[in-house]
Structures are given as structure tokens and as C-alpha cells.
Amino acid sequence: MILVTGGLGFIGSHIALSLMAQGQEVIIV
């Protein structure tokens, strides 16, 4: 499980999508 802060921003959203594509469980704050 990975916590991503600032998930609505450009970098945060791309990091979250990349992690989810790798099969990680992502929590966006």
C-alpha cells in the first residue's frame, strides 16, 4: 500500500497511475 499526497496535481496523478499499473494498492490524499 502506497500513500500519494497531492494526487490531483500533474506529477501526483501520473505517479498514482504508474503505481496502479504496476499492481500497487494506492491511497490518494
Helix (H) or strand (E) holding 12: helix 10-21
pLDDT at residue number 25: 97
Tens-digit pLDDT profile for residues 1-29: 999 999 889 999 999 999 999 999 999 99
Helix (H) or strand (E) holding 2: strand 2-4
Phi, psi (deg, nearest 5) at residue 4? -115, 120
For 12, the domain range is: 1-29
Total domain count for the chain? 1
